[in-house]
Amino acid sequence: MSEDPSPPRTPERRQRVQSAEMGMGILKALARLGGTASLTAVATAVDESTAKVHRYLASLIQEDLVVQDSSSQHYRLGPEAIQIGLAAMRQNDPVRRSEPALIRLRDELGVACFLAIMGNLGPTIMRFEEPLLPVTINVRAGSVLPALWSATGQVFLSTLDDAAQWRRLQDELAQASSEQRARLGVQTLDQLRDQVRLQGCAIARDSLLPGISAVAAPITDYSGRVVAVLTALGATGGFDPGLKGPIAPLVLREARAISLSLGTLTAG
């Protein structure tokens, strides 16, 4: 049996660890409270007395991790805390964060998986993973997908706030054939947007390519904004895209995990 190389925790060392944990807890509480809060609100959030929290806040102020507003007496995150946050944000590249999830989905489900972001020309595939027996499809890294007919595009569409683009997509849907509308499964863009929001993902059956189905889920950042979309797709005959099937729950799980790694507070 190997020995634990770490030194034993003396009472003094345990106290330092507990103090660090309390300081971090206060900083996290301030972040959850919107970055600024009263002493009472912070103490309630960490379930400690105001006297104890006040002592810790004084230490955090000395380190520029917290500042106190002279007029309201509220506490807010200080410049050093902001620098830490900015450094973390710079590391939060959704493409890089998604790589392990894409490989897991590919290996666990045996389907093609990709990550897309919204580019200048539309939803653009940035990373593509194929199973051992690839499905013959004409999309690859760099491919631009339609906003209306692909599951990936429908996720981005569900948060679209550009009125001009919305009208253009409405016209595109109005000009679609009855067969295309039937494959889409809805009659209006509003219905499509509401369906994706309710499901938490978009499901496409043969709407982009005949014989191909897909499930796509949003990846959100610290602000709750959709910054990327995680998609799994395969041949319709052997690919069950239903919400209770084997694929959708795993795609949703991986998308939420990536979102949490990016600092989102809305995933789950």
Question: Per mean pLDDT, which range of 31-45, 63-77, 86-100, 161-175 is the poorest?
Answer: 86-100
Range(s) of the domain holding residue 215: 92-261
Q: Specify if 266 maps to a domain.
A: no
How much is the pLDDT for 4?
Answer: 53
Q: Specify if 5 maps to a domain.
A: no
How much is the pLDDT for 1?
Answer: 44
Q: Which of 14, 34, 12, 25 is nearest to 56 (CA)?
A: 25
Mean pLDDT score of the chain: 85
Distance CA 42, CA 57 (A): 10
Query: Given pLDDT bands bounded at 50, 70 and 90, which one contains residue 133?
Result: low
Q: What is the CATH number of the domain that holds 101?
A: 3.30.450.40
Q: Which residue has the higher pLDDT, 149 or 210?
A: 149
pTM to 2 decimals? 0.69
Q: Specify if 6 maps to a domain.
A: no
Query: Given pLDDT bands bounded at 50, 70 and 90, which one contains residue 265?
Result: low
Residue at which a domain ends, from 90, 108, 135: 90
Same domain? For 86 and 98 the reply is no
Q: Specify if 54 maps to a domain.
A: yes
Q: What is the CATH number of the domain that holds 79?
A: 1.10.10.10
Same domain? For 164 and 243 the reply is yes
> What is the H or E stretch that residue 108 is in?
helix 94-109
In the predicted structure, residue 267 carries a pLDDT above the cut 80: no
Residue at which a domain ends, from 75, 90, 105: 90
Helices 39-46 + 50-62 axis angle, to 10: 110
Q: Which residue has the higher pLDDT, 54 or 185?
A: 54
Q: What percent of the chain has pLDDT over 70?
A: 87
Same domain? For 178 and 216 the reply is yes
Residue at which a domain ends, from 90, 122, 145: 90
Distance CA 38, CA 72 (A): 8
Q: What percent of the chain has pLDDT over 90?
A: 39
